[in-house]
Amino acid sequence: MFLAKVYVTYKESILDPKGEAIRKSIQQMDYDSVQSVRLGKYFEIIIEAADEEVASREIEEIADKLLANVVMETYRYELEPITSNEANTIQVEKAQLSEEDGDEG
Amino acid sequence: MFLAKVYVTYKESILDPKGEAIRKSIQQMDYDSVQSVRLGKYFEIIIEAADEEVASREIEEIADKLLANVVMETYRYELEPITSNEANTIQVEKAQLSEEDGDEG
């Protein structure tokens, strides 16, 4: 079992109006020390895989297909092996959500 | 000069419907190996500060006030000292954006 941490940000060449808007808000709070802000998405994914290589390949496929718009965004990720206990702690929440919305899966 | 990387996620007790929706989409792409997905925000902030302690204090204040909804979200951050060259590379984009929208600042 692995925990994948995926960071999706705009490519360097793509301007980031949301980041710029946040920068301006921060400066209006008198934090002139802030020079720039870039905003991105952050995913924590628990994935069952035989080994790290399989986990990496699947995370890259999932990121390319769904998590990042590869025309405008780029991503990097980290993989950590986790125990099933650690995974279960997170699973408990997922089960609660499934009960509430009558998950068919 | 420091680069702060700030990761904002829902608190463990808060359900994450977006993450759950992404999990279902991923499984519909036949990646049954994915057990759970949590979605968060990721910020890269360049901040001018005399030392790491000052930078930390300001980033925490900014995160508490603006970046995270501290009732439902939690955050962690990393600080990296960067050279002004590295900062300038990112600044060039910011300048382009300011020219376009006639930044009064």
CB contact under 8 A, B66 and A35: no
Residue B94 above 70 pLDDT? Answer: no
* CA R_g for chain A: 18
- A62 contacts in chain B (CB < 8 Å): 26, 29, 31, 34
pTM: 0.78
- B89 contacts in chain A (CB < 8 Å): 12
- Residue from B8, B16, B33, B58 to probe the interface with A (highest A Cβ count within 10 Å): B33
- Residue from B11, B42, B46, B84 to probe the interface with A (highest A Cβ count within 10 Å): B42
Residue B58 above 90 pLDDT? Answer: yes
Q: Average of pLDDT values for A69-78?
A: 94
Mean pLDDT of chain A: 87
Q: Is B41 on the interface with A (CB under 8 A)?
A: yes
Q: How far is B70 from chain A (nearest CA, A)?
A: 17
CA atoms within 13 A on the CB side of B16: 26
Q: Is the dihedral of CA A62, A67, A73, A77 positive or negative?
A: negative
Say whether A91 sits in a helix, a strand or coil: helix
